[in-house]
Amino acid sequence: MKLILGGALGRMGREVALAAKDAGMEIACGVDVAYTGQPCDFPVVTDFDKVTIPGDVLVDFSRPAGLPELLNLARRTGMPVVLCTTGYTEDELAEIDKASKEIAVFRSANMSLGINLLRRLAATAAKTLGEDFDIEIIERHHRMKADAPSGTALMLYDAVEKEAGSLKEPIYGRYGRTAQRKHSEIGLHAVRGGTVTGEHEVCFLGEGEEILLTHRAENRSLFARGAVKAARFLKGKPAGMYDMQDVLDELLG
């Protein structure tokens, strides 16, 4: 299977090249605005418009700026796309949605299969325990992370809130003498420091028992492996929008 790789020279692009090789795939062509002719294991061009080598699936870890050219290439060639880049505007998301009427589009802000399984397990636990157990979400990330809570913690919140039964509201940390917990709360807590790649824990705290569902990311390669799995999943799929939950559905049968 041959991939076209957007953002090929970036941190994630390099991880995907390694993960693709491990999975027996080939990078037919990389695309990166920063390419200036440096040696690379595969051909690289600076713009999606310049890709002339055919590929089975396009995997992108770049920046939203190249989206119009990326979608042109996908439409022109009928090539499915795995969009891992984050930070799209509402207008760009609408463009992606429009393109998915013509081509297969896979988009997930978190490409880790493990995190997506955690989301499903947490939703099941919330459905089963939500009325009786208190739910809290704790995430830990390195000191450089700009946003809090993480996008993944918010995704986990949405998944458990939907299933937890009675109306729940998010509480971002607690402080002060009148901070006693209400049952309607789901607490979200962001710990920052050091070089932690990323940890998410969904806690179900009941009378005399606790269930803690934890995912720990040791490095960024898990996102690359997820992207490669997504590419394999997407090859040959009809036009439409897909995400990691569809991969899980297929795996779980």
Ligand X SMILES: NC(=O)c1ccc[n+]([C@@H]2O[C@H](COP(=O)([O-])OP(=O)(O)OC[C@H]3O[C@@H](n4cnc5c(N)ncnc54)[C@H](O)[C@@H]3O)[C@@H](O)[C@H]2O)c1
Candidates 132, 137, 190; CA nearest to 160 is 137
> Is 141 a known active-site residue?
yes
CB-neighbour burial class of residue 61 (10 A; exposed 0-12, middle 13-18, buried 19+): buried
- Find all residues with CB under 8 Å of 253, minimum gap 6, and list them: none
Interaction between residue 20 and ligand X (CB under 6 A): no
Interaction between residue 11 and ligand X (CB under 6 A): yes
Minimum Å distance from CB 220 to ligand X? 6
**Hey, which residues between 67 and 86 contact ligand X (CB under 6 A)?**
84-86
**Hey, which residues between 208 and 227 contact ligand X (CB under 6 A)?**
223
Beta partners for residue 45, in sequence order: 31
**Hey, which residues between 36 and 55 contact ligand X (CB under 6 A)?**
none
With CB under 6 A as the contact rule, the residue among 24, 39, 87, 253 that binds ligand X is: 87
Q: Please, how many CA atoms are within 13 Å of residue 17, restricted to the half-sphere of its CB?
A: 20
- Find all residues with CB under 8 Å of 237, minimum gap 6, and list them: 80, 104
Binding mask 104-123 for ligand X (x = CB under 6 A): ----xxxx------------
Cis peptide before 149 (omega within 30 of 0): yes
Query: Which candidate in 2, 127, 145, 237 is catalytic?
Result: 145
* Amino acid type, 210: E
With CB under 6 A as the contact rule, the residue among 3, 4, 12, 231 that binds ligand X is: 12
Strands 134-141 and 169-172: unpaired
Query: Which candidate in 141, 168, 200, 229 is catalytic?
Result: 141
> Is 145 a known active-site residue?
yes
Which chain residues interact with ligand X by CB under 6 A?
6-7, 9-13, 31-34, 61-63, 65-66, 84-87, 108-111, 223
Annotated active-site positions, please? Answer: 141, 145
